[in-house]
Amino acid sequence: MYVSPVHLGLAARAIENGGVIAYPTEAVWGLGCDPWNDQAVLKVLQMKQRPWQKGLILVASDMMQVAPLLDHLTKTQLSKLEMSWPGPVTWVLPDPEGWVPEWSRGEHASVAIRVSAHPLIQQLCARIGRPIISTSANLAGREPARTKQQLDARLYHYLDYVMPGETQGLSQPSVIRDVLTDQVYRA
């Protein structure tokens, strides 16, 4: 999938300036921002009417972008990540040193991370140089948008940029698993 450098630049600038974007992911449209910008994350939570305690998923372009979270994993645990990334598997990883701020990970000592296979996400995160927030573009409890046209009109008022593009057409959002216990949080 070709992604225009102009659109990548506009989306990256919006995120770097504390904004919130909408963009296609593997299965649904997502909202993204800088996980280290508390005001941007607060804006996403307010848009979605989602409590901060739940935490948010981060997406990255490659494993190197989340290297601080990998230092404490065993070879077996790293192997799980390597076999499923890039791809539609979100892993809950321990964050013992608080690399990801509390406002992004919620009340958890762990953080949900995905290295996406979606070319747009890979290119955007590579351009920014680190992971971004990836949460479904919908109000809490509502169905997520599967196309740009299905984005809730109430969200547009708060968005700083809407990427062009399409999802990868997966029928379900990413599986969420715990790297330590293999517990599945979302099948």
Is residue 133 within 8 Å of residue 121, measured between CB atoms? no
Q: How many CA atoms lie within 13 A of 32 on its CB side?
A: 29
Is residue 92 within 8 Å of residue 178, measured between CB atoms? yes
Res 137: pLDDT: 95
Res 67: pLDDT: 97
- pTM over 0.75? The answer is yes
d(CA 135, CA 125): 15
Q: Does domain 5-186 have CATH number 1.10.1040.10?
A: no
Over the chain (187 residues), what is each successive 10-residue block's mean pLDDT?
88 98 97 98 95 97 98 97 97 97 96 97 97 94 92 92 94 93 93
Domain range summary for the chain, segments of one domain joined by +? 5-186
Res 129: pLDDT: 97
Res 187: pLDDT: 83
Closest CA to 88 of 125, 113, 63: 113
Res 139: pLDDT: 87
Kindly report the backbone phi and psi dihedral angles of residue 21, in degrees, each rounded to the nearest multiple of 5, phi listed first. -120, 160
